[in-house]
Amino acid sequence: MMVDRQEFLQKLITKTDSKIVMLVMDGIGDTVINGKTPLQAAKTPNLDKVATESDLGQTIPVLPGITPGSGPGHLGIFGYDPIKYQIGRGILEALGINVEVGEKDVVARANFATLDGDIVVDRRAGRPASEESARVVKILQEHIKEIDGVKITFYPGKEHRFVVKLTGEGLDDRIEDADPQKEGLPIKWAHAYDPAAEKTAEIVTKLMKEIREVLKDEPKINFALIRGFSKYPAIPKFPEVYKMRAAAIAVYPMYKGLAKLVGMDILDVDGETPADEFETLKKHWDEYDFFYVHIKKTDSYGEDGNFDAKVHVIEMVDEALPKLLELNPDVLVVTGDHSTPVAMSGHSWHPVPFMIKSPYTRAGLSKAFDEFEAARGSMGTIYAVDLMGLLLGNARKLEKFGA
């Protein structure tokens, strides 16, 4: 019999003054290159010291062998079954930049890309600066306002990303990603995987063709890949399920959107470094019971296949970590939402390392924070959706089950 973990935990949760910090280094898991993973290669005295005081283990984001997107990866570590709650990336990106999404809307996340003929040669158009991306979004909005009676609205995001909103009657979000997912492949137009979405898919394909025409003279940003089609979903709210005031500290819009979707408050960060994010944590420390802190660039450099840059970001987190540790959270978990191996330049199915530090963890069993120490750790291999139960237990927020 399948158990709804959130529903089960909710009956046992009791309010306490305990504070939980979830530090998510996006895509942190990796494989070995020249004898080491980026976590092993990085100089991380602070993370390693925390490891000696923690229980370690590894999570499976969805199911063994399944490669998750960032949405499912995060839903899992927040305690939501990612198979039950399948949410398009579009709604996360849209909410992250404060786009209003109504009943008649379908939103999607878009990447500016570079075409050579009909071949996608760069899925991120060279990662343009956000200002350059916003310039091109403005051009699109000036030229494309409506297709077949459906209103089209563009919203600039960060770097190569932006949001497209379609507003009209009878729109449906059951559309495959219009993205080949790899460079060197031809354009993939929009296709519905349900007959009810065929009209919407046709509009998206017409939109992509218009974008290509409008941007044909741009040197790099001459196309857009559109994916993560979504309407506003129904999902339980994190503060109500777990009886905690919850806040999110993130730089990139999608992760703000994901946190907002589950009911967390979004805290503004003055800057973009791990130190800036930890400073925001300190500033709001007395206001919340649960903090989600997101580090993006570990994932970005994994996707770029850049080993040294991923190592550098890990070291930046480690250098700034004392700012977080000074706050002495009752429970600290350090983990990722999925693995992004440098050798694969993309997300993967590999288990994700985690460590939990609290007054009740079994200190001294591990020597460092990396994939191999985590694989040998006392927590073993668990599903990501079970992580929240461990955090609540360590925070003494769960009553005893049964007589």
With H, G, I as helix, E, B as strand and everything else as coil, classify residue 339. Answer: strand
- Which of 230, 256, 284 terminates a domain? The answer is 230
Helix (H) or strand (E) holding 198: helix 198-214
With H, G, I as helix, E, B as strand and everything else as coil, classify residue 316. Answer: helix
75 and 164 inside one domain:
no
Q: How many CB atoms lie within 10 A of CB 231?
A: 18
**Count of the separate structural domains present in the chain:** 2
Residue 2 lies in a domain: no
Query: Which residues are CB-contacts of 30 (< 8 A; sequence separation ≥ 6)?
Result: 37, 38, 39, 302, 310, 339, 340, 341, 342, 350, 371
First to last CA, the chain: 22
Buried-state track 137-165, b at ≥16 Cβ within 10 A, e below 16: beebeeebeebeebebbbbbbbbbbbbbb
- Whole-angstrom distance, CA of residue 82 vs CA of residue 59: 13
Q: How many CB atoms lie within 10 A of CB 312?
A: 15
In this predicted structure, the answer to whether residue 142 has a pLDDT above a threshold of 80 is: yes
In this predicted structure, the answer to whether residue 234 has a pLDDT above a threshold of 90 is: no
With H, G, I as helix, E, B as strand and everything else as coil, classify residue 99. Answer: coil
Global confidence as pTM: 0.82
- Which of 230, 248, 265 terminates a domain? The answer is 230
Which pLDDT does position 210 carry in this prediction?
97
DSSP 395: T
In this predicted structure, the answer to whether residue 1 has a pLDDT above a threshold of 60 is: no
Helix (H) or strand (E) holding 303: helix 297-303
Which pLDDT does position 167 carry in this prediction?
97
Residue 402 lies in a domain: no
- Whole-angstrom distance, CA of residue 214 vs CA of residue 216: 6
CATH number at residue 29: 3.40.720.10
Buried-state track 379-398, b at ≥16 Cβ within 10 A, e below 16: beebbbbbbbbbbbbbbbbb
Which pLDDT does position 403 carry in this prediction?
79
Residue 403 lies in a domain: no
380 and 240 inside one domain:
yes
329 and 220 inside one domain:
no
Average pLDDT over residues 184-192: 96
Average pLDDT, the chain: 95
246-284 pLDDT, tens digit each: 999 999 988 998 999 999 999 999 999 999 999 999 999
